[in-house]
Structure 1
């Protein structure tokens, strides 16, 4: 009888010791696998700053800084999940705001889609699609300009004549490929795609990109410019697509090889420029409306592998593969008016580093 009692005691002790190691009693690990939000909803999976082991004490100083710097919408994604989504200065998740030149990267992506579909080849000359006479350059010089030159900002056309891209305003300065200059002539890629697809730019853009990843918003005329406007979450959707190498939840929207080419140096003049994407971590860079070369990284406080869509007055999409981050910012100029890069980028990344490290 005693042996039965002792056996029961040992079984009970063993059971208790096992129960203390029972995984059901420990919190489930957080899901940090790549995530894509539903197409027809702005309801996203979220994680908190503390879930990721980031510095919660640095969250409020970052938000205070963003509000003081005229921010309207700000989002941090970690592998697709929302870590921060904040709105300031009367903005909210339903309101649209213009992307300015950050929207150039939309044209890049749709160019890649058109090439994937066999409609265009970016190494072909622009006149193959638009015919001759689309510039004021001689036929010989005009025929040097390829679609890749438009995406790389080295068309050789005069960047000092404003944003109008009618032939009279597109004048020869240097041979294509020999001079880098930030120029609105990139929008001719939208005409190339419209001609090649036998459709309008808006229709092709909507069908091939916008609707497939659940963006809202649209293209609006602003003087001689065509700018995209959306809510902040739609900007984050686009950033997530690029972070995922052109794939959206298993569907390859644009080829990974094109995204790789677009987010690496595309020419030998401005190291820090791809196909309308700005590149961090290079030894030098050039800026709009200047022929000067500056030594050092574009944004020293940011990770070297980051690439960026930069728009006038501090519209931003930062993509950082090594950190699994997509960060977007919409709003008015943080300080003075600017064309793309500003001191705000480096200051903001100093505060982001305080949060995530």
Structure 2
């Protein structure tokens, strides 16, 4: 019996000596999830606008001066880059300054597009309705049947079928070339949309524009009649405010100024002829494009160096609003013509984007 107890004691002793202490498996520290920076909207009426430095973004500081040199060389007056609504670059050239007004030229077409969308969401008009429903018949020299084919959407999409050999918009100058919807041609007749909005709203165009768009996002500026066109003049920061509204698909803070569905339509291909044109917005990254005053179709993207998702407001003498959703970025350029060509589109765009790309590539 004594031998048995000794044997059991030996087994227990050996067992206790060989048992290892098992420590709990440590719980790994989770990798912090980056907090996405909130979109910033400058306060209305205060003049305050938050900034963000090149260094904070991790961009290439050495690429800044070549970009500024190019802008100065190319007759620029102002240049702004916004990222997430904050000013990253703001520069003025050739005696221009932050309080000076400059004209938007055809870049202002996008203001007309946006306000047309606002009028539609208020139930004042429908872009699929014929133009003559709002401003009466006889606004062109076409037959009644031909004129009645032209809808507000045709004016937004630049496929009214009206003769584009002149910028005049009096009835005698608006003559038939093709049925509406069958021919794309860049034409000043879009300005009739301002008459449509005025008639539908019972207000002047300027009054409706100021109340429904300009004042709601804190823009300054005014419409000035220039020949056959109504041209918008403002400070560069006001153009940047509109670009920020466009980046956010018609939204300003919590206020949806223009319906997002309409804005998506406006910044996507609006017809089958020119893939690179929406509702008075130019579109980058498409398979082909047409240029003003031309019926030729060109293959590829309008601005090869620009992002494929970029959409643009482009005006004579190189007035520019570039909106790049993938980078949450807006770029503004105002000034005189960069080159001898006065077209809204020129080689200036592609070289400029080569230099902008160098900031962050």
Contact 1:55/1:354 (CA < 8 Å) preserved in 2?
yes
Q: Corresponding residue for 1:35? A: 40
Alpha-carbon shift at residue 229 of structure 1 (Å): 0.6
CA contact (8 A) 1:30 1:51 kept: no
Contact 1:312 1:337 in 2 (8 A): no
Q: Which residue of 2 aligns with 1:140?
A: 145
Which structure: larger Rg? 2
Contact 1:96 1:217 in 2 (8 A): yes
Whether 2:186 is the aligned partner of 1:182: answer: yes
1:271 maps to which residue?
275
Q: Distance between the aligned counterparts of 2:168 and 2:324, measured in 1?
A: 34
The SS at the match of 1:50 is helix
Partner SS state of residue 240, structure 2: helix
Aligned residues: 328
Q: Distance in 1 between matches of 2:283 and 2:328?
A: 16
Indicate which of 56, 60, 65 corresponds to 2:65.
Answer: 60
Alignment match of 1:353 (pick from 349, 357, 360): 357
Give, in angstroms, the shift of residue 223 of structure 1: 1.6
Are positions 1:247 and 2:251 aligned together?
Answer: yes
Q: Which residue in 2 is equivalent to 1:121?
A: 126
> Given the alignment of the two structures, is residue 156 of structure 1 paired with residue 155 of structure 2, yes or no?
no
Superposition CA RMSD, Å: 1.1
Out of 217, 242, 246, the residue aligned to residue 238 of structure 1 is 242
Q: Secondary structure at the match of 1:86?
A: strand
- Pairs within 5 Å for 1:324-335: 324-335=328-339
Distance 1:187 1:32 in 2: 39
Q: CA deviation at 1:338?
A: 2.0
Given candidates 210, 219, 222, the residue that maps to 2:223 is: 219
TM-score scaled by length of structure 2: 0.90
Structure 1: where are the runs of 5+ without partners?
1-28
Aligned residue in 2 for 1:170: 174
For 1:43 and 1:30, how far apart are their aligned partners in 2?
A: 24
Q: What TM-score do the two structures reach when normalised by structure 1?
A: 0.91
Q: Output the CA distance in 2 between the equivalents of 1:73 and 1:32.
A: 27
SS of residue matched to 1:276: coil
Q: What SS does structure 2 have at the residue aligned with 1:305? A: coil
Shift of 1:31: 7.9
Task: Tell whether 2:307 aligns with 1:320.
Answer: no
Matches of 2:161 and 2:114, distance apart in 1: 23
Gaps of at least 5 residues in structure 2 are 1-33
**Secondary structure at 1:188 match in 2:** helix
Q: Corresponding residue for 2:17?
A: none
Secondary structure of the equivalent of 2:215?
A: helix
Where 2:54 maps in the other structure, the secondary structure is coil
